[in-house]
Structure 1
Amino acid sequence: MIALLLRDLRLAVRAGGGFGLGLAFFLIVIVLVPFGVGPDKTVLEPIAPGILWVAALLSCLLSLDRIFALDFEDGSLALLATSPLPLEAASVTKAVAHWLTTGLPLTIAAPALGVLLHMKTDAYAYLTLSLALGTPALSIIGAFGAALTVGLKRGGLLLSLLVLPLYVPTLVFGAEAVRRGAEGMDATTPFVMLAGITFGAFALLPFASGAALRVNLK
């Protein structure tokens, strides 16, 4: 698993398989929002948590189709299916690699970009924690969607349509946690729900991803 993880990280850096791409898109969205709604602090401050979470979600979508597609095209996925490593473990490893190259940079950069949206100072810690808890779920859900659509021509659009509805609970609870933190309210419930979604997704979706890969490789 470690060898596969390191391989995917190297490919992401060398071939542009997501490293930096999601972060650049995230920056562009956050910079464009004040141009669209105006620079007024009273307008940007209430919507900052939702905008940051939506931008993070869309940024994660950019590289999802590359999780399995490149391995499928060069035959590596078929070799991986015959290796001692179960496809379920491979799915988890690839989801972790996707998070390290996409979700983690977004989590680190989000507080700095929150300044552009005049986000309240009290909300920065909540934003970082919510993204740290929620973005792994986006990666493992995305890996499941990528496993379903691997091998399909122009499967990127279908992947987005499949994954976006599954992202909604994470988006809702993530943005709610930041909003409550900004208003000085108790954010325990949305954080618990975020953690539950992430742990539940990692417990169940690797098996679904493995089954989908086996079907597509037949």
Structure 2
Amino acid sequence: MKALLVRDLKLAVRAGGGFGLGLAFFLIVVVLVPFAVGPETALLTRIAPGILWIGALLACLLSLDRILALDREDGSLDLIATAPLPLEAAVSVKALAHWLTTGLPLVIAAPVLGVLLNLRGEGYGWLVVSLAIGTPALSVIGTFGAALTVGIKRGGLLLSLLVLPLYVPVLIFGAEVARRGAEGLSVATPLALLGAVTCGTIALLPFASAAVLRVNLR
């Protein structure tokens, strides 16, 4: 598992779908928002949690098609499927590699970019917490979508259309945690729901992804 994780991390960086692309897109979204809605600081403060979460979600979408497509192209996916390592574990490792190269850098960069949107001081900690809990679910769901479209040529658009509806609960609860934290309100309920969604996806979707892969590789 460790060797597969290291391989996927190197492959993600070399293929150009690593943390640099996601961070660049995240920065572009945050920088463009004030130009679109105006420089009013009160408005930017109010919408900052939601904009930061939307930017992180869309940044995660950029590299989803690379999770399994590159392995499919060079034949590595067939070897992984027939290896002694269970396919469910291999899928989980790939989701972890995607999170380490995409989700984790976004979690680290979010407070810095929050300054550009005049995020309240109380909201920085909760923004990081919500992204740290929610972005693993985005990677696991994205891996499931990649498994569904692995046999389709140029399936990137279809992958986005399949994954986006599944991302909605994570977006709602994650943005609500950041918003309530910034406003000094209780975050217990949305935080618990966000954690439940993440735990549920981590527990169930690797099995679904492995089952879909077995069907596509027949």
1:125-144 per-position Cα deviation (integer Å, ceiling 9, x unaligned):
00000000000000000000
Matching residue's letter, 2:27: L
* Residue of structure 2 in register with 1:122 after alignment: 122
TM-score (structure 2 length as normaliser):
0.99
Aligned counterparts, 1:10-21, within 5 A: 10-21=10-21
Structure-2 residue corresponding to 1:157: 157
What SS does structure 1 have at the residue aligned with 2:152? coil
| Aligned residue in 2 for 1:217 | 217
2:173 maps to amino acid: F
- Name 1:179's counterpart in structure 2: 179
Identical counterparts, % of pairs: 73
**TM-score when scaled to structure 1?**
0.99
Q: Name the SS of the counterpart of 1:49 in structure 2.
A: helix
Deviation of 1:5 after TM superposition, in Å, equals: 0.3
Q: How many residues align?
A: 218
Q: Which consecutive residues of structure 2, in runs of 5 or more, have no partner in the other structure?
A: none
Shift of 1:25: 0.3
Q: Deviations over 1:27-58 (max 9, x none)?
A: 01000101111111011110000000000000
Task: After TM superposition, give the deviation of residue 182 of structure 1 in Å.
Answer: 1.0
8 A Cα contact 1:95 1:139, kept in partner: yes
The letter for the 1-side match of 2:123 is A
RMSD (Å), alpha carbons:
0.7
Is residue 88–residue 210 contact of structure 1 (8 Å, CA) maintained in 2?
Answer: yes
Q: Which amino acid aligns with 2:119?
A: M
- For 1:22 and 1:133, locate their aligned partners in 2 and report how far apart those are by CA, in whole Å: 18
5 Å-filtered alignment, 1:64-83, equals 64-83=64-83
CA distance in 2, matches of 1:177, 1:82: 42
Do residues 102 (structure 1) and 102 (structure 2) align?
A: yes
Matched residue, 2:138: 138
Task: Please list every run of at least 4 consecutive aligned residues from structure 1 whose deviation after the TM superposition is greater than 2 angstroms.
Answer: none
Cα deviation for residue 61 of structure 1 reads 0.2
| Residues 137-177 of structure 1: CA deviation (Å, up to 9, x unaligned) | 00000000000000201211110011000000000000000
8 A Cα contact 2:72 2:150, kept in partner? yes
Distance 1:202 1:6 in 2: 20
SS of the counterpart of 2:64? coil
Aligned to 1:57: 57
| Alpha-carbon distance in 2 for matches of 1:88, 1:27 | 34
User: Residue in 2 aligned with 1:169?
Assistant: 169
Alpha-carbon distance between aligned partners in 2 of 1:84 and 1:148, rounded to the nearest angstrom: 23
Contact 2:17 2:62 in 1 (8 A): no
Distance 1:118 1:207 in 2: 41
Instruction: Report if aligned partners of 1:18, 1:62 keep a CA contact under 8 Å in 2.
Output: no
